[in-house]
Structure 1
């Protein structure tokens, strides 16, 4: 309760807290421990109100106070009660306010502050005086030299290593007590398949897929606002334990070699974009469509995507390839009858992942007709490789 005004500029009040609860009954925590975390939680709210208050930012008030109560009384772990539902709702935006999700979202702060100065949270609150909480979080993350989508992707990767999959000394210190993520899809899939799905900003979808263990695969995520997306790939061992997470940005492929493929892989599609309008309620944000293309590859990786290519304004065939060492590369495209229609001398390309986008036009600038075409990749130091692609003109 606010009490007496101490000053008007800045506006300051004395305040007090009244607790009238014996914490008996359907509470997760009881007795003095319940009193301790309640006082810590509400005390931190009193501090927050000295900075700013907006209804749309209540999620940040609650996630911060839950984080603080656990910092103050680390052994109580009252926050664990919020995690089962939170882990089932990772496909909902981080800032969802539904009287439960925002409490579980304290886990994001536990991730962010695990290896950082705690003053990072204070700086977020200082920024909140002049901007929405989501923008304050984003700005602080970026000022620490981290891309915001990268931070979101890392957070969701931490969420994989919980319960029986926890790894001692890594990720969340109390991860063994956490629930596990809910998979959107959990079944065997053929290679050379595409998953089409959608998710809102600041959320993720998790997939556990059975994959032919004899093959190397590439996984590419394609979405309209590509720079804000990440695809996470994690091989799952026969024992059920998880390997190391690899995060890939935009159209860069996640590659899983046959030697590391034991028949299962976890894929996570992360939409790390900040909403265009941060005042829109989380569940009113539009679902953003994406595609995950899973293809069998040779270890000297070369792929074309999408296949088929539907030619329209802005459409392009992504020709992606992996080089063991820097090399001169040429790309040629032929009709099914063997007629050369396009050639590009790529020059010296760096070792590692490379990509070229073909707009479906011939060397003369004319759009090709519908049909089957052959894409030929020819490095100077290695064997040429060819892929077929279907072109469809609506």
Structure 2
């Protein structure tokens, strides 16, 4: 990554007309180093600006700021937006000249009208309606007129960027003044809705660019958390929310454009990566735009103002913590919403149900399904048939084939017990079992269990950490439909579940544990069908190696069984 930042220093010394060409050279070098698999477009230059500005190397920051000043000190014509909130700087000659088309025949080029109208709409919705703070001025007060510059960024395949000017001492936290650049050339962009018309294309591209970049300008007035220290070590824990919430605002402000569609495969094909993983390459930067689906779902459920509420809480907490806090104030939690989100992701593409989940889900790709081993009537239900790991705020979508008709059960066990860990099961006829631990289902013909293993917010600080989980399952004999099952039947201390799980328990069950000699060492009462137990006595002493007997009673129900502990 050192070369990336050195290159940014280099481009800051070049004429601004060469900005796009310089950025494209950087992209080509990343391809050569195999850091970047070719993404659709860079979309937004803000990630690179953030990475350079917070790199920890003062020289890089100063040179980037000098480059920003160089942009603003060119000779421009100006145009004030109808609302008066934006001063638009443009040129009519040279590589950065704005397009000259003027279909309405007035004295103002249509490009300028598109830019001014899109920015005014962004302000009206985000500031006047949703309640975001206006972009800050240097003294910390709301900025009355915000500067926007029009330059040709087509060579870098970048829609626009938000450049940071200076920190604001009058405001708490790290917040900054800024200005926006919007490209004058969108020839590299294609929208299904533009009908091949370059003027329609420009209007659509400008609409989403203004919404996206203005959101970054607003974000810079709250708090940008950075834990970096030393050269080339920017650590921005909220990067995922910075970009995903800006992309969501595109849909709120210009919902007919749907530019975000092109980024969804990068997210839906890598759901086993943590939502808040700090990007380490351009490919991971692109993936963050696809993460728009999570704030978008929250917007459908709670209203788009929830994004503003999270940013208000980011003043004193990172985005993951701030989001959980906002959701708890609404009677939910980040854990509960992460289980909900699994269903919204599953019902996409051919499975779309627009009346229940994303209204535009038929246009989305479906998440990849991992095919596990098949279950049949001779399945060894004492051993896990699938094992894997998940980081926090991630999923694995799985398909478990059932080859022979009959009733089969399925259970999921994680390495630790937490309300943030579990599964969401998708059964035939669109039946959903959220946060399931155990289920049995009668298959009349061959079929499959489809499920999401859910790694919820079991950590707010370790996106690269992993927790193990296992799937157990098997055939339920006709004469044992109500039998209690226990997993694992052979327990060792290094078992991912760290304990033993009783499944299919009757209501108000009493579980008694005995040694092989018949001495009772533990009694458990539970009202739930699933009970997780760490193998120890009533006094808390761990059980020694050996064979143990369990007895489950409830009313007239009684069942005996055994398990083995090997230490």
| TM band (smaller chain) | 0.7 to 0.9
Whether the aligned pair in 1 keeps the contact of 2:549 and 2:562 (CA below 8 Å) is: yes
CA 1:265–1:176: 2 relative to 1, 3 Å: same
CA 1:154–1:6: 2 relative to 1, 3 Å: closer
The 5 A counterparts of 1:136-151 are 136-151=322-337
Offset at 1:167? Answer: 1.8
Match among 347, 355, 359 for residue 531 of structure 2: 355
- Quote the RMSD (CA, aligned, Å): 3.2
Separation of aligned partners in 1, 2:138 and 2:493: 66
Offset at 1:78? Answer: 0.9
Secondary structure at 1:172 match in 2: coil
Secondary structure at 1:100 match in 2: helix
Q: Identify the residue that residue 117 of structure 1 maps to in structure 2.
A: 303
Separation of aligned partners in 2, 1:243 and 1:136: 33
Whether the aligned pair in 1 keeps the contact of 2:513 and 2:522 (CA below 8 Å) is: yes
Offset at 1:107? Answer: 0.5
Q: Which moved more, 1:220-229 or 1:66-75?
A: 220-229
Q: Identify the residue that residue 202 of structure 1 maps to in structure 2.
A: 393
CA 1:276–1:111: 2 relative to 1, 3 Å: closer
Q: Identify the residue that residue 167 of structure 1 maps to in structure 2.
A: 353
Secondary structure at 1:56 match in 2: coil
CA 1:47–1:376: 2 relative to 1, 3 Å: same
Separation of aligned partners in 2, 1:322 and 1:165: 34
CA 1:300–1:114: 2 relative to 1, 3 Å: same
Offset at 1:59? Answer: 2.0
The 5 A counterparts of 1:157-236 are 157-190=343-376, 191=379, 192=381, 193-194=383-384, 195-211=386-402, 212-235=404-427
The Cα offsets for residues 30-84 of structure 1, whole Å up to 9 and x where unpaired, read as: 3321121111211222222222234432321211111111111111111101111
Secondary structure at 1:221 match in 2: strand
Separation of aligned partners in 2, 1:46 and 1:254: 48
Secondary structure at 2:183 match in 1: coil
The Cα offsets for residues 261-297 of structure 1, whole Å up to 9 and x where unpaired, read as: 85200121111125353xx6x4xx2222222222444
Q: Which moved more, 1:72-81 or 1:310-319?
A: 310-319
Match among 264, 287, 291 for residue 466 of structure 2: 287
Separation of aligned partners in 2, 1:95 and 1:362: 41
Q: Identify the residue that residue 500 of structure 2 maps to in structure 1.
A: 317
Secondary structure at 2:505 match in 1: strand
Whether the aligned pair in 1 keeps the contact of 2:412 and 2:469 (CA below 8 Å) is: no
Q: Identify the residue that residue 48 of structure 1 maps to in structure 2.
A: 219
CA 1:308–1:8: 2 relative to 1, 3 Å: same
Q: Identify the residue that residue 452 of structure 2 maps to in structure 1.
A: 268
Which structure has the bigger radius of gyration?
2
Q: Identify the residue that residue 563 of structure 2 maps to in structure 1.
A: 389
Q: Identify the residue that residue 8 of structure 1 maps to in structure 2.
A: 139
Q: Identify the residue that residue 207 of structure 2 maps to in structure 1.
A: 36
Structure 2: where are the runs of 5+ without partners?
1-67, 73-86, 88-135, 150-181, 193-200, 226-235
Q: TM-score, normalised by structure 2?
A: 0.59
Q: Are positions 1:20 and 2:20 aligned together?
A: no
Separation of aligned partners in 1, 2:499 and 2:138: 63
Q: Are positions 1:247 and 2:434 aligned together?
A: yes
CA 1:301–1:17: 2 relative to 1, 3 Å: farther
Whether the aligned pair in 1 keeps the contact of 2:406 and 2:444 (CA below 8 Å) is: no
Offset at 1:345? Answer: 5.7
Separation of aligned partners in 1, 2:489 and 2:207: 59
Offset at 1:112? Answer: 0.9
Whether the aligned pair in 2 keeps the contact of 1:59 and 1:95 (CA below 8 Å) is: yes
Offset at 1:22? Answer: 2.5
Secondary structure at 2:213 match in 1: helix
Q: TM-score, normalised by structure 1?
A: 0.82
CA 1:142–1:105: 2 relative to 1, 3 Å: same
Offset at 1:123? Answer: 0.9
Whether the aligned pair in 1 keeps the contact of 2:274 and 2:391 (CA below 8 Å) is: yes
The 5 A counterparts of 1:50-129 are 50-54=221-225, 55-96=236-277, 97=279, 98-129=284-315
Whether the aligned pair in 2 keeps the contact of 1:12 and 1:50 (CA below 8 Å) is: no
Q: Identify the residue that residue 338 of structure 2 maps to in structure 1.
A: 152
Separation of aligned partners in 2, 1:216 and 1:189: 8
Separation of aligned partners in 2, 1:150 and 1:309: 30
